[in-house]
Amino acid sequence: DTGVSQNPRHKITKRGQNVTFRCDPISEHNRLYWYRQTLGQGPEFLTYFQNEAQLEKSRLLSDRFSAERPKGSFSTLEIQRTEQGDSAMYLCASSPKVRLGNEQYFGPGTRLTVT
């Protein structure tokens, strides 16, 4: 399967701990995005990369959140000092160089539960 992959699929952590998620985009996709989704809501944009450059960050991305894409391939999203409000599905998406528009293909997500 050559789709977007995310690891781990599920993460349970205690409040105050740090967590890191990984995203592997579709090969040759130069753009990579992170979104957060809570129950019953649509995904909310967090940040995106074009190659290794982080081009945009949402105000949702507090200073406890950091994302990297060091070699322009996979990306990591780290949350420090987790809070119960961080519990959500964290989705990664990638897109190729522009065709019709900014089409994005999503991975299966990492479900985070903070206890």
Partner 1 sequence: GESVGLHLPTLSVQEGDNSIINCAYSNSASDYFIWYKQESGKGPQFIIDIRSNMDKRQGQRVTVLLNKTVKHLSLQIAATQPGDSAVYFCAENIYNQGGKLIFGQGTELSVKP
Task: Tell me the CB-side half-sphere exposure of residue 13, using CA atoms within 13 A.
Answer: 24
Pick the closer one to partner 1 by CB: 80 or 111.
111
Among residues 43, 35, 44, 14, the alpha carbon closest in space to that of 77 is found at 35
Residue ranges in 40-59 that form contacts with partner 1 under rule CB under 8 A:
40-45, 48, 50, 55-56, 58
Contact present, 15 and 40 (Cβ < 8 Å): no
In this chain, which of 62, 102, 113, 115 binds partner 1, going by CB under 8 A? 102
CB of 5 to partner 1, least distance (A): 10
- Alpha carbon separation from 108 to 5, 56, 68, 69 (Å, rounded): 7, 23, 19, 19
**Cα separation of 75 and 86, whole Å?**
19
Reduced to 3 states (helix: H, G, I; strand: E, B; else coil), residue 84 is helix
Could you say whether residue 91 binds partner 1 (CB under 8 A)?
yes
Count, residues near partner 1 per rule CB under 8 A: 31
Stretch of residues binding partner 1 (CB under 8 A), selected from 14-22, 32-40, 67-75, 76-84:
32-40
Pick the closer one to partner 1 by CB: 19 or 48.
48
Binding site for partner 1 (CB under 8 A): 4, 6, 31, 33, 35, 39-45, 48, 50, 55-56, 58, 91, 93, 95, 98, 100-109
